[in-house]
Amino acid sequence: MLAQEMEKALNEQLKWELYSGYLYLAMAAYFEDQGLEGFAHWMKAQTAEEFMHAMKFYKYIFERDGRAVLQEIPAPPESWENPEAVFEYAYKHEQEVTARINRLMTLAKKSEDYATENFLQWFVEEQVEEEASFKAILNRLKLIKGDPQALFYLDNELKQRPLDLNLLMTQA
């Protein structure tokens, strides 16, 4: 059974995982509007991944005899200056998610909640991957400095990311 403080913290993280998906969907919409279909596709895949993360929290809360409480999700930004600004924003967002996961891990350790600590370990590792993937694209965008031809090639490359919407259902 989850302690009340942990249940509240996990519900807060559930909200932020849903917000992450919402944010990346807003970024996909921005890229669609800019005619960058590969960037939009990449962000849609990221959206699905974030919603899968949310479902992991949702399921875990119930597995531990808690109650998932859905909270209001703030509206994400609607537009950015350019693709580099989008990925800069997303990278900073992922750093904040990492900080949130770390705070949850600290709470689990302090509370001697070993099951939650074990559950969160997957997210600790996932955040290393999340930050690295955003940073890699951000670094490439900084290198190309808005060059249309290079942007075209990167857009085509990002289109290759697998988009598996079944990820959402496997975690429910």
pLDDT for the residue numbered 163: 85
Domain covering 4-170 in this structure, CATH number: 1.20.1260.10
Cα angle 20, 85, 41; round to 5:
55
pLDDT for the residue numbered 164: 74
pLDDT for the residue numbered 171: 53
Buried b (16+ CB within 10 A) or exposed e, 5-40: ebbebbbbbbbbbbbbbbbbbbbbbbbeebebebbb
Banded model confidence at residue 169, pLDDT cuts 50, 70, 90: low
**Contact indicator for 116, 64 with CB cutoff of 8 Å:** yes
| Share above pLDDT 70 across residues of the chain, in percent, rounded to a whole number | 95
Express each pLDDT in 132-166 by its tens digit.
999 999 999 999 998 999 999 999 999 999 987 66
pLDDT for the residue numbered 168: 55
